[in-house]
Amino acid sequence: MNGRRPTKELRALTGAEGDAGPDRRVRRRPWSLRTRLTVTVLALLVAGLFAVPFATWAVVRDAGAERARERLTTFAADLTPLLADGRTLALGGDGEAMLRALGRAGGPSFVQVHTADGRPVQTVALDGSPPIDGPVTARPWWPGPRTAGSPDGARFAREGPGRDGGPFPGASDWWLRGSWLPDGRVLVVGTRTDEYDAFNGRLTGVHFAITVAALVTLAVIAYRAIRRALLPLDRIAATAKAIGDGDLTRRVEPADPHSEAGRLGLALNAMLGQIEAAFREREASEERLRRFIADASHELRTPVATVRGYAELFRRGAAERPADLAKTMDRIESEARRMGVLVDELLLLARLDQGRPLDRAPLDLTGLAADAVAAARAVDPERPLTLHAGTPLPVQGDAVRLRQLLDNLLANVRDHTPPGTPATVTLRAEHDSAVIEVRDEGPGIPADHAPHVFDRFYRADPARSRTGGGTGLGLAIVAAIAQAHGGTAALRPGGPGATFEIRLPLDVRSAQPMAGRSGPAPPGEPDAHA
C-alpha cells in the first residue's frame, strides 16, 4: 500500500460513509475573524436601516388615520343637526357638490343614513361606496344602545376582508365612522384611502431604495475598514509563520501603539527579542561547550601522547639503561602532574558552572592577599612584587577559592612576563566593593586579544613569554570564582603592561574574628606603603 490512504478508508475514518440521515453532522470550517466581524456589522446595519422605513411607515399611518378620524368626526357632528327629526340628505346637486368640496379639502366622500335596525335608507357617494353588507347593527364594531353616560358611542374602523372578524369585509380602502342621530338612526361617513396609500407606498419605496443603497455603501465601507484594521494581525501571522520556519530575525512592522494590534505587535516584538536572545545565548553556550571539549581534548592529548611515548620507549629497552630509565620516569611523572592539574581545573570550572554553594565565611581579603604575595615571592624571589593594602577588607567568601583566585593572578604574571618584571598588588575599598588590582610592567596584552583573556583555553602567546606551560584556564577560573562570589573580573585598558581588576561585594556587617590572616605583613614583606 502506498503512503496515501485510499479514499474509501478516508471516508470511513471521517464518517463520510454510512447513514446519511438527519443525525449526520457536517463539519464546517470556522469563520475567520474578518468574516465574523463583517457579518455582525452587516446584521446590525440591516436591522438598523430597515427599522427606519418600517417605523416611518407606522408613524405616517397612525398620523393619517388620526387626521382622517378627526375630519370624519367633525363632519358627522356638523351633519347631525341637518338630519334631525327624521330629515334626509338633499339628493342631487347640493349634496354631491357638498361632498365634492369636502373631498377636495380632505373631507368625506361617502355619507349613508341607516334606520335604527341597521337598514340603509339613503346614500350620497363619490367614487363608489364601501361594501357594507347587511344591517350595520349586526356588526360587532357598531355601538350598543345609547346611554346617558355615552351620548355618542360611535367608533372609527378601517378593516380588511375577514380581518379579525372585522365589520366591513372588503372595505379595506375606506375609513368609516358611525354615529347616532338624535332620532335613533345611524349616520355613517367615510373617505377613501387611495391618496394616503399611494403617498405611504411612495414614501416606503423611497425609504427602501435609500436603505438598500446605504446598506451596500456601508457594507463596502465596513468591509474595507475591518480589513484595514486587521491588516496588522495578518502581518503578525506572516511574521509568526516566518519565525516558525526558522527566521528568528523577523519582527512585526510597527503600528499605532495606541491600538490593540499595535500593542500586540510591540509585545510580540519584545517577546521575539527575548526568544532570539535566548537562542543566541544557547547557540553561544553550545559553541563554547564544543570549543571547550575540543580544547580540553587537545590539552589532554599532548600529555597522554607523551606518557604513551615514554612508556613505549621504556618497553623497547630503556629499562636496561638506568640513566634513561630515570629520565623516562621523570617525564611520565611530569606529564601525569600536568594532566592532574588540568583535570582538577576542569572539575573546578564544572562545579562553578553548576552554581554549587561555596563554603562562605567572613574573612579578611587583605590577609589572603598578603599570604598569596608571600607565596609568590617564595616561588620567584627575583621578581619585585609589591603589596599596597590599607585597612582590612571584610568579605563573605570561600577562603580557599579566593586564595586560588589570587594565586592564579600572580601565576599569570609569572608565566606571561619576562623574568624580573615588577608587579604590584593593590587592595582598596570603593563604595560597597572590595577591589583587587594586579598590575605588571610587562609587554601587555594586544587590544584584539583583550576581549578573550577570560575565555577558557585562550592564550595570547605571541606577545607574552610562556615559560610555565599553563593550561589556559587560569584566568577563566579567576572570572568564575569572582562571579560565584557575586563579583566581576576585568582587564583594565591602557597603561604599560596588563592590569587585572577584581571586584567583590564588601561585607560591612561582618564582625571579628574573621577567617584568614590580618595584621602586619610578614617579615621581609613591604607594608602597605612600600
pLDDT averaged per 10 residues, the chain (length 530): 40 42 58 81 83 80 80 81 72 56 61 77 70 44 33 35 35 72 81 78 83 86 83 79 77 74 80 83 80 73 78 68 72 79 78 77 91 91 90 90 91 89 92 91 84 78 46 84 91 84 85 42 40
Q: 47 in a domain, yes or no? A: no
Residues 6+ apart with CB under 8 A from 520: 527
Pair 125, 173 in one domain? yes
Do 363 and 500 lie in one domain? The reply is: yes
How far is C-alpha 413 from the geometric centre of its chain's CA atoms?
A: 54
CB pairs under 8 A, 24+ apart, for 445-449?
445/491, 445/498, 447/493
Q: Are residues 441 and 368 in the same domain?
A: yes
User: What is the span of the domain harbouring residue 168?
Assistant: 108-144+152-192
Cell digits of residue 361: 565565611
Same domain, 337 and 366: no
Is 321 inside a domain boundary?
A: yes
Q: Are residues 324 and 382 in the same domain?
A: no
208, with CB counted inside 10 A (0-12, 13-18, 19+), is middle
Residues 344, 369 within the same domain: no
Q: What is residue 128's predicted lDDT score, i.e. its pLDDT? A: 61
> Using only C-alpha atoms, what is the Rg of the chain?
55
Q: Is residue 213 part of a domain?
A: no
How far is residue 172's CA from residue 83's CA, in Å, rounded to a whole number?
Answer: 28
**Are both 470 and 370 inside the same structural domain?**
yes
Complete DSSP assignment for 305-353: HHHHHHHHHHHTTGGGSHHHHHHHHHHHHHHHHHHHHHHHHHHHHHHHH
- Which of 303, 333, 351 terminates a domain? The answer is 351
The pTM of the whole model exceeds 0.85: no
Positive or negative torsion for Cα 68, 73, 77, 80: positive
Q: Is residue 102 part of a domain?
A: no
Nearest Cα to Cα of residue 433 among 402, 395, 477, 401:
395
Integer Cα distance of 296 and 302 in angstroms: 10
Instruction: For strands 499-505 and 488-492, give the pairing.
Output: antiparallel
Q: What is the pLDDT of residue 306?
A: 76
- pLDDT reported for residue 127: 62
Domain assignment present for 89: no
**Distance (Å, whole) CA 266 – CA 499:** 44
| Overall number of domains in the chain | 3
The answer on 293 and 186 residing in a single domain is: no
Question: Domain holding 412: CATH number?
Answer: 3.30.565.10
At position 218, the amino acid (one-letter code) is: L
